Chains A and B, each alone.
Chain A
Amino acid sequence: AQSVTQLGSHVSVSEGALVLLRCNYSSSVPPYLFWYVQYPNQGLQLLLKYTSAATLVKGINGFEAEFKKSETSFHLTKPSAHMSDAAEYFCAVSQISGSARQLTFGSGTQLTVLP
């Protein structure tokens, strides 16, 4: 079974600083990987996805992630944090369950942006 591990349940950065949220995956086949963001009392919004095309993936709101097979990582970055980036971020891998394609999520990283 495929899985993802998010290192750091809480990350704090100052406004304007680099954001780095870590995700490592475990997969015996080329994975499809995703980052989602969840604002308080809301559902999940897709930030970006990796589907075996370019290894550097650009998403919405200035976020990007790089797929590194040698490190089995898919870390999320943003050069300059904004207050509006404060939210919970989930890394997920897509895998087959029966005839369905399901998402398996990490435990999440809560991002706090300090003024």
Chain B
Amino acid sequence: ETGVTQSPTHLIKTRGQQVTLRCSSQSGHNTVSWYQQALGQGPQFIFQYYREEENGRGNFPPRFSGLQFPNYSSELNVNALELDDSALYLCASSFASGGYGRNEQFFGPGTRLTVL
């Protein structure tokens, strides 16, 4: 069974640039969630994708956007990067069969984004 993978592992960008982070979900999972973890804090929910559509979003501005592909992999895009976007970005996959799906989410190793 393949776990959740993310790429790249580290990324350095400058303020105002755009970034794309990628995630491959665990085998058998069809739902992907993205979280932002700032240094010294717990992860914060950004959004979730199910059946290639966003079905829930946390308190993040529209410059945070995403995609889910037919193979259930996902991208997180952040436009107009700000210094405060520096964080560990975590992808989590889970399985949903209608409704709200199961509770258990499995996390990837994360992408460390530094904005200078």
Residues of chain A having any CB pair with chain B under 8 Å: 32, 34, 36, 41-46, 49, 51, 90, 92, 94, 96-108
Bound Cα distance A104, B35 (Å):
10
Stretch at the interface among B12-20, B40-48, B67-75, B78-86: B40-48
Query: Is there contact, CB below 8 Å, between B103 and A32?
Result: yes
B6 to A, closest residue via Cβ: A43
Query: Is there contact, CB below 8 Å, between B107 and A43?
Result: yes
With A43-B107, A102-B33 already in contact, the answer to whether A97 and B42 are too (CB < 8 A) is no
Partner of A100, one of B40, B55, B106, B107: B55
Residues of chain B having any CB pair with chain A under 8 Å: 4, 6, 33, 35, 40-45, 47-48, 50, 55-58, 90, 92, 94, 96, 100-110, 112
B64 to chain A: closest CB distance in Å?
14
Query: Is there contact, CB below 8 Å, between B42 and A102?
Result: no
Partner of B110, one of A43, A94, A101: A43
Extra pairs beyond A41-B112, A102-B56 (18, CB < 8 Å): A44-B107, A46-B105, A49-B104, A90-B42, A92-B42, A98-B55, A99-B50, A100-B33, A100-B56, A101-B48, A101-B100, A102-B33, A102-B48, A103-B35, A105-B44, A106-B42, A107-B42, A108-B41
B110 to chain A: closest CB distance in Å?
5
Bound Cα distance A100, B50 (Å):
8
Contacts of B50 in A (CB 8 A): 99-100
Bound Cα distance A49, B42 (Å):
17
10 A-B pairs with least C-beta separation: A100-B56, A105-B42, A98-B56, A100-B48, A97-B56, A99-B55, A44-B107, A43-B107, A102-B45, A43-B109
B18 to chain A: closest CB distance in Å?
24
Query: Is there contact, CB below 8 Å, between A103 and B56?
Result: no
Contacts of B6 in A (CB 8 A): 43
With A43-B109, A97-B57 already in contact, the answer to whether A104 and B45 are too (CB < 8 A) is yes
